[in-house]
Amino acid sequence: MTIRRGFTLVESLLALAITAGIVVLTMGTGRQLTQPFQHDRLAWYQVVQVLERSGQFRFAAVEGDSLVIRDQAQHGDCLRVAVDSKLVLRLTNAQGQGYYPLLNHVVAVHWRPMKTKGLVVMRLKQEGLPWEQTILDLRGVMASSHFGR
Protein backbone atom coordinates (compact mmCIF):
# COMPACT_ATOMS: atom_id res chain seq x y z
CA MET A 1 0.00 0.00 0.00
CA THR A 2 1.43 3.34 -1.04
CA ILE A 3 0.85 6.47 0.97
CA ARG A 4 0.14 9.48 -1.18
CA ARG A 5 1.26 12.91 -0.07
CA GLY A 6 0.17 16.24 -1.58
CA PHE A 7 -3.03 17.53 -3.08
CA THR A 8 -5.10 16.33 -5.99
CA LEU A 9 -5.83 18.65 -8.90
CA VAL A 10 -9.43 19.21 -7.70
CA GLU A 11 -8.26 20.17 -4.21
CA SER A 12 -5.69 22.59 -5.65
CA LEU A 13 -8.27 24.29 -7.90
CA LEU A 14 -10.72 24.59 -5.01
CA ALA A 15 -8.08 26.21 -2.80
CA LEU A 16 -7.16 28.59 -5.63
CA ALA A 17 -10.80 29.59 -6.16
CA ILE A 18 -11.32 30.27 -2.43
CA THR A 19 -8.13 32.34 -2.30
CA ALA A 20 -9.18 34.36 -5.36
CA GLY A 21 -12.59 35.04 -3.77
CA ILE A 22 -10.99 36.29 -0.57
CA VAL A 23 -8.63 38.55 -2.53
CA VAL A 24 -11.53 40.03 -4.53
CA LEU A 25 -13.48 40.75 -1.36
CA THR A 26 -10.56 42.34 0.49
CA MET A 27 -9.30 44.42 -2.45
CA GLY A 28 -12.71 45.96 -3.15
CA THR A 29 -12.66 44.99 -6.81
CA GLY A 30 -16.05 43.37 -6.44
CA ARG A 31 -17.68 46.82 -6.55
CA GLN A 32 -15.83 47.65 -9.77
CA LEU A 33 -16.90 44.37 -11.34
CA THR A 34 -20.56 45.03 -10.55
CA GLN A 35 -20.46 48.75 -11.46
CA PRO A 36 -22.11 48.29 -14.88
CA PHE A 37 -25.09 46.71 -13.13
CA GLN A 38 -25.41 49.58 -10.63
CA HIS A 39 -25.81 52.25 -13.33
CA ASP A 40 -29.36 52.16 -14.57
CA ARG A 41 -29.95 54.75 -17.32
CA LEU A 42 -33.67 54.14 -17.09
CA ALA A 43 -33.70 55.32 -13.45
CA TRP A 44 -31.96 58.58 -14.46
CA TYR A 45 -34.56 59.25 -17.19
CA GLN A 46 -37.40 58.43 -14.79
CA VAL A 47 -36.15 61.11 -12.37
CA VAL A 48 -36.19 63.69 -15.16
CA GLN A 49 -39.62 62.51 -16.30
CA VAL A 50 -41.12 62.79 -12.79
CA LEU A 51 -39.76 66.30 -12.28
CA GLU A 52 -40.93 67.49 -15.72
CA ARG A 53 -44.28 65.69 -15.49
CA SER A 54 -46.63 67.50 -17.93
CA GLY A 55 -45.93 70.93 -16.45
CA GLN A 56 -47.03 69.94 -12.96
CA PHE A 57 -44.04 71.51 -11.18
CA ARG A 58 -42.89 75.11 -11.35
CA PHE A 59 -39.45 76.29 -10.25
CA ALA A 60 -39.45 78.33 -7.02
CA ALA A 61 -35.87 78.50 -5.70
CA VAL A 62 -32.58 76.77 -5.03
CA GLU A 63 -31.65 76.56 -1.35
CA GLY A 64 -28.20 75.03 -0.91
CA ASP A 65 -28.35 71.53 -2.37
CA SER A 66 -32.16 71.52 -2.41
CA LEU A 67 -34.49 72.40 -5.23
CA VAL A 68 -37.76 74.06 -4.18
CA ILE A 69 -40.64 73.64 -6.61
CA ARG A 70 -44.35 74.44 -6.55
CA ASP A 71 -46.88 71.71 -7.27
CA GLN A 72 -49.47 73.33 -9.49
CA ALA A 73 -51.81 70.36 -9.09
CA GLN A 74 -51.88 70.97 -5.31
CA HIS A 75 -52.62 74.73 -5.49
CA GLY A 76 -48.97 75.80 -5.47
CA ASP A 77 -47.79 73.81 -2.44
CA CYS A 78 -44.01 73.95 -2.03
CA LEU A 79 -42.04 70.73 -2.43
CA ARG A 80 -38.34 70.04 -1.94
CA VAL A 81 -36.02 67.76 -3.93
CA ALA A 82 -32.86 66.84 -2.00
CA VAL A 83 -30.59 63.96 -0.98
CA ASP A 84 -31.27 62.46 2.46
CA SER A 85 -28.85 60.81 4.89
CA LYS A 86 -29.40 57.41 3.21
CA LEU A 87 -28.14 58.80 -0.14
CA VAL A 88 -31.61 58.82 -1.70
CA LEU A 89 -32.74 61.70 -3.88
CA ARG A 90 -36.28 62.27 -2.72
CA LEU A 91 -39.24 64.55 -3.14
CA THR A 92 -40.75 65.84 0.13
CA ASN A 93 -42.94 68.69 1.32
CA ALA A 94 -41.30 71.99 2.32
CA GLN A 95 -40.73 70.72 5.89
CA GLY A 96 -38.91 67.59 4.70
CA GLN A 97 -41.84 65.32 5.54
CA GLY A 98 -43.14 62.63 3.25
CA TYR A 99 -41.07 60.31 1.18
CA TYR A 100 -41.12 59.92 -2.58
CA PRO A 101 -37.80 58.31 -3.57
CA LEU A 102 -36.48 59.32 -6.97
CA LEU A 103 -32.96 57.82 -7.18
CA ASN A 104 -30.69 55.71 -4.92
CA HIS A 105 -26.94 55.95 -4.20
CA VAL A 106 -26.79 59.71 -4.82
CA VAL A 107 -23.62 61.21 -3.36
CA ALA A 108 -24.20 64.82 -4.43
CA VAL A 109 -26.63 66.95 -6.39
CA HIS A 110 -26.25 70.57 -7.51
CA TRP A 111 -28.96 72.81 -8.92
CA ARG A 112 -28.31 75.97 -10.94
CA PRO A 113 -31.10 78.16 -12.30
CA MET A 114 -30.59 79.36 -15.86
CA LYS A 115 -31.34 82.83 -17.23
CA THR A 116 -34.52 81.55 -18.82
CA LYS A 117 -37.06 81.49 -16.01
CA GLY A 118 -38.04 77.94 -15.04
CA LEU A 119 -35.06 76.13 -16.56
CA VAL A 120 -32.70 74.52 -14.05
CA VAL A 121 -29.43 72.66 -14.57
CA MET A 122 -29.33 69.48 -12.47
CA ARG A 123 -25.88 68.00 -11.88
CA LEU A 124 -25.91 64.67 -10.03
CA LYS A 125 -23.27 62.18 -8.82
CA GLN A 126 -24.05 58.59 -7.89
CA GLU A 127 -21.69 56.25 -6.03
CA GLY A 128 -18.92 54.99 -8.30
CA LEU A 129 -20.31 56.72 -11.39
CA PRO A 130 -19.38 59.88 -13.29
CA TRP A 131 -21.33 63.13 -12.92
CA GLU A 132 -24.58 63.33 -14.89
CA GLN A 133 -26.04 66.66 -16.04
CA THR A 134 -29.30 67.73 -17.64
CA ILE A 135 -31.54 70.76 -17.99
CA LEU A 136 -34.95 70.47 -16.34
CA ASP A 137 -37.94 72.37 -17.71
CA LEU A 138 -39.83 73.52 -14.62
CA ARG A 139 -41.88 76.30 -16.20
CA GLY A 140 -45.16 74.69 -15.19
CA VAL A 141 -48.41 74.64 -17.15
CA MET A 142 -47.51 77.85 -18.98
CA ALA A 143 -44.67 76.03 -20.78
CA SER A 144 -47.10 73.44 -22.15
CA SER A 145 -49.43 76.12 -23.55
CA HIS A 146 -46.57 77.82 -25.44
CA PHE A 147 -45.81 74.64 -27.36
CA GLY A 148 -49.44 74.14 -28.29
CA ARG A 149 -49.64 77.43 -30.26
Whether 138 maps to a domain, the answer reads: yes
Q: Is the pLDDT of residue 59 over 60?
A: yes
Whether the Cβ atoms of residue 118 and residue 68 lie closer than 8 Å to each other: no
Read off the pLDDT band of 109 (50, 70, 90): very high
Q: Are residues 26 and 65 part of one domain?
A: no
Whether 32 maps to a domain, the answer reads: yes
Read off the pLDDT band of 38 (50, 70, 90): low
Q: Are residues 82 and 33 part of one domain?
A: no
* Domain with 123 in it: 39-148
What CA–CA distance (Å, rounded) separates 42 from 34? 17
pTM: 0.66
Whether the Cβ atoms of residue 101 and residue 88 lie closer than 8 Å to each other: yes
Q: Are residues 102 and 30 part of one domain?
A: no
Name 67's Cβ contacts closer than 8 Å, sequence gap at least 6: 59, 80, 81, 82, 111, 120, 122
Q: Are residues 130 and 108 part of one domain?
A: yes
Q: Are residues 115 and 96 part of one domain?
A: yes
Whether 2 maps to a domain, the answer reads: no
Name 113's Cβ contacts closer than 8 Å, sequence gap at least 6: 59, 62, 119, 120, 121
Read off the pLDDT band of 135 (50, 70, 90): very high
